[in-house]
Structures are given as structure tokens and as C-alpha cells.
Amino acid sequence: MKRVSIAAAVIMVGCAPVRTVTHNVRDSVVVRHTVRDTVIEVAPDSSLLRALVECDSLGRVRLSRLLDYETGKRTRPPVVTVTDNVLTAKVEADSFKIYAELKDRYEEHRTRETVVETVEVNRPTTWQKVRMRLGEAMIIAVVFWIVKTVKKVRNTLF
């Protein structure tokens, strides 16, 4: 009796359609760093000194009058010396170095979505479904008939 009811349950469940839907989402972030060198332009710099020079009675050069002087952004006015009729102008400029490195950071967000759907290829028609339901009803009727017959035989024997 138990075997018959288990078999009937398996037969009824075996015809259920299978529908599977899988939804998969994957997010990823791509970070790119770009390092590049750059050139920083520095404007030219200069200083100016204008003076009147004259010779004395011995034929040596001397500065008679300072007309004007101008300093630069990074330089001072020149130091002017006259030694043995040689005019020397000396300017000291601050040395500087410019090291520049630029870093760019790019972020890219990517979303990849995967949807897997199982499609029924052999779907039963309406007539096939009616025949399956009639078969189920017939199996149930046969099971009840067997149970009824077994009870009748059992009651007559005992």
C-alpha cells in the first residue's frame, strides 16, 4: 500500500515543469594611475646697472656717477669693480631646481550583469495536459479500487 502511494506521488510530481532563472551581477572598479613629467617654464631674469665712467689724469678708469640700477626677481644688482682699467660686473643668482611630476587617477566602474533563463522546449499542449490529468485520476481511482477490494477480501477472510 505504501509503495503504491509513493509511486503515485512520484508520477504526479514528475510532470511539473522546471523553470530556472539565475540573476548574477558583478561589479568591478578599474583604477588607473598615470604618471607624467611636465615642464615648468621660468621667465628669464636680469639685472641692470648704468654708470658713468671717466678717466683720471693718470689714465685709470673710475666710476664717476651711478645713473640707475634695477634688480630682477631672482638676482640682485651686479657688484661692479674696476681693477687695472678692467671693469668687472658680477651677479649672483639663486640656483633653483624644479622637479614636477603629475599623477592622474582615473576610475572606471564596470557592471556586468548575467541573466540565465531556462526555457522549456517541449511544453505539453492542452490535449496532453488533459490526458495527464485523466491518467492521474485513473491512477487514483485504481488505487481506491485496490484498497476497497483488499478490505473486502480481508473482511471476508477474517
Closest CA to 72 of 44, 95, 47, 49: 47
Contact of 81 with 62, CB cutoff 8 Å: no
Same domain, 81 and 117: no
Position of cell 490526458?
131
Match 551581477 to its residue by C-alpha cell. 25
In a domain, 131, yes or no: yes
- Domain membership flag for residue 87: yes
Judgement on whether residues 108 and 32 belong to the same structural domain of the protein: yes
Q: Is residue 43 part of a domain?
A: no
Does 138 reside within a domain? yes
Asked if residue 130 belongs to a domain, the reply is yes
Residues 91 and 112 in one domain: no
Q: Helix, strand, or coil here: 156?
A: helix
Domain identity same for 33 and 106: yes
Do 88 and 122 share a domain, yes or no?
A: no
The tens digit of pLDDT for each residue in 68-112 reads 878 777 777 788 888 887 878 888 776 666 666 777 888 888 877
**Is the pTM above the cut of 0.85?**
no
Q: Which domain holds residue 33?
A: 2-38+102-157
pLDDT 10s digits, 22-58: 767 777 778 888 877 777 777 777 777 788 888 888 8
For 58-67, the CB contacts below 8 A with 24+ separation are 59/85, 60/85, 61/85, 61/87
Q: Do 106 and 148 fall within a single domain?
A: yes
